[in-house]
Amino acid sequence: MKRRRPRFSAGNRRDRKEGVVPPVVVVPAGTPPQARRRRLWRWLAVFVACAGLGLGADRAWRWYSLPARVEAARPIASVPAGWPPEFGARVAAAQAQAGSRGGAIVGMAELGRLYHANGFMAEAGACWAFLRAEQPRVARWAHLLADVRRAASDYEAMEAQLRDVVGLAPDYAPAWLQLGNYCFKTGRFDEARHAFVRRLELIPGDAHAQLGLARIVLQGGDRVGARGMIEAVVRDHPRFAPAQNLLAELLAAAGDEAGAARHRQLGMVAIRFFEADDPWRDELVGWCYDAERLRMLATVEFQIERGDRGVALMERAARLAPEDPDGYAALGDLLIKLDQPGPARAALEESLRLAARGVDRKPPVMVFVNLSHALRLLKQPEAALRVLEQGRAYHEQAFELFDELGMVLGDLGRLDESIAAFRAAVAQSPGDPNANFNLAVALLGQGRRAEAYVALEQSLTLKPTFPRSLSMLGRLELEDGRMAEAERHLRTLHEAYPQLAEARWMLGQWELMTGRAAEARRDEAAAERHFRAGVSLDPDNPELQASLGVMLLLRGQVAQALEHLEAYRRLEPGNPQTALFLGQAYAQLGRTQQARVVLTEGAEQAERAGNSSTAAYCREILSQLR
SS (H, E, C) 68-137: HHHHHHCCCCCCCCCCCHHHHHHHHHHHHHHCCCCCHHHHHHHHHHHHHHCCCHHHHHHHHHHHHHHCCC
**521, 427: one domain:** no
Say if residues 251 and 263 touch (Cβ distance below 8 Å).
Answer: yes
Cβ neighbours of residue 490 closer than 8 Å, sequence gap 6 or more: 470, 474, 503, 506, 507, 510
Of residues 518, 621, 531, the one with CA closest to residue 568? 531
**429, 517: one domain:** no
pLDDT at residue 21, as a whole number: 34
Does 142 reside within a domain? no
Beta bridge partners of 240: 271
**Which burial class, exposed, middle or buried, applies to 412 when counting CB atoms under 10 A from its CB (0-12, 13-18, 19+)?**
middle
CA-to-CA separations, 59 to 50, 106, 135, 136, in angstroms, rounded = 8, 19, 12, 14
pLDDT at residue 55, as a whole number: 46
Beta bridge partners of 271: 240
pLDDT at residue 530, as a whole number: 96
Round to whole Å and give the CA distance between 208 and 599. Answer: 52
**169, 237: one domain:** yes
**236, 314: one domain:** no
Does 382 reside within a domain? no
Does 491 reside within a domain? yes
The angle, 0 to 180 degrees and rounded to 10, between the axes of the packed helices 381-394 and 365-377 is: 170
The DSSP result for 227-291, as a single string, is HHHHHHHHHH-TTBHHHHHHHHHHHHHTT-HHHHHHHHHHHHHSBPP-PPP-HHHHGGGGG---H
Q: Which of 538, 557, 574 is the last residue of a domain?
A: 538
pTM of the model: 0.74
**358, 307: one domain:** yes
The DSSP result for 582-619, as a single string, is HHHHHHHTT-HHHHHHHHHHHHHHHHHTT-HHHHHHHH
Q: Which of 276, 306, 338 is the last residue of a domain?
A: 276
Cβ neighbours of residue 244 closer than 8 Å, sequence gap 6 or more: 234, 238, 263, 264, 266, 267, 270
pLDDT at residue 7, as a whole number: 39
* Chain length of the chain: 626
Does 583 reside within a domain? yes
**368, 269: one domain:** no
**300, 362: one domain:** yes
pLDDT at residue 479, as a whole number: 93
**162, 272: one domain:** yes
Of residues 329, 303, 304, the one with CA closest to residue 314? 329
**407, 502: one domain:** no
Cβ neighbours of residue 526 closer than 8 Å, sequence gap 6 or more: 515, 518
pLDDT at residue 160, as a whole number: 96
Does 90 reside within a domain? no
pLDDT at residue 360, as a whole number: 64
The angle, 0 to 180 degrees and rounded to 10, between the axes of the packed helices 415-428 and 433-445 is: 160
For each successive 10 residues of the chain (626 residues), what is the average pLDDT? 40 37 41 56 52 50 56 66 86 88 88 94 93 94 96 95 97 96 95 96 94 93 90 86 86 83 72 76 94 91 85 94 93 95 96 83 92 97 96 92 96 94 94 92 93 93 90 94 95 85 94 96 95 94 96 94 95 94 94 94 94 93 87
Name the amino acid, one letter, at 170: P
Does 85 reside within a domain? no
User: How many structural domains is the chain composed of?
Assistant: 6
Say if residues 143 and 281 touch (Cβ distance below 8 Å).
Answer: yes
Name the amino acid, one letter, at 394: Y
Q: Which of 538, 564, 598 is the last residue of a domain?
A: 538
Does 616 reside within a domain? yes
| Distance, C-alpha 524 to centroid of its chain | 45
**261, 166: one domain:** yes
pLDDT at residue 250, as a whole number: 87
Looking up residue 207, the CATH number of its domain turns out to be: 1.25.40.10
Of residues 376, 375, 364, 361, the one with CA closest to residue 400? 364
Does 149 reside within a domain? no
Rg (CA), the chain: 36
> Domain residues for 162?
158-276
**534, 547: one domain:** no
**405, 356: one domain:** no
Say if residues 399 and 430 touch (Cβ distance below 8 Å).
Answer: no
